[in-house]
Amino acid sequence: MPTKEIKKFNFTKAYAELEKITTWFERDDVDLEEGMKKLEEGSELVKELKNYLNTVENKIKELKKENF
């Protein structure tokens, strides 16, 4: 039976983080200083997501009946 592996870079988590930042930026009282910090964090995340998708390959496995 296949098991869930923990990858070094968690795509779903990173994307969720990105969405959190977007929600933060959508509020009415955006603080400039904090915003600059979030922008920096977010840009780093964008870079990591792009980098991940550009470098990591899909893993393809053909299951035998006994895998189940």
Partner 1 sequence: MLPTLSVSQFLTQINDIIAGEFVIEGEVSQYKISQGKWIFFDLKDKTGCLNCFSTVFMLKQPLEDGMRVRVSGYPKIYEKSGRFSFTVQFVEAIGEGSLQRAFQLLKAKLHGEGLFNLERKRPLPRFPARIGVIASGDSAAWGDFKRIINNRWGGVEILLRHVTVQGDSAIQDIVSAFREFNESAELYDVLVLIRGGGSLEDLAAFNSEEVVRAIYTSRIPVVCGVGHERDESLADLVADVRASTPSNAAERVVPERREFFSELDFIKDRWIDSLSHVVQLLRQDVGQYQQMMFSGLEMRLGRLRDFVRSSEMLFKNIDPKSVLKRGYSITRDEAGQVIKRANQVDKGAKLVIELAAGKLEARTTKPLSPSLPL
CA–CA distance, 66 with 64 (Å, rounded to integer): 5
- Minimum CB separation from partner 1 for residue 43, in Å? 6
What is the contact mask toward partner 1 in residues 28 to 47, using x (rule: CB under 8 A)? --xxx--xx-xx--xx--x-
Instruction: Sort residue 32 into left (φ over 0), alpha (ψ -120 to 50) or beta.
Output: alpha
CA–CA distance, 9 with 52 (Å, rounded to integer): 8
Residues that bind partner 1 (CB under 8 A): 1-4, 7, 11-12, 15, 18, 21-22, 25-26, 30-32, 35-36, 38-39, 42-43, 46, 49-50, 52-63, 65, 68
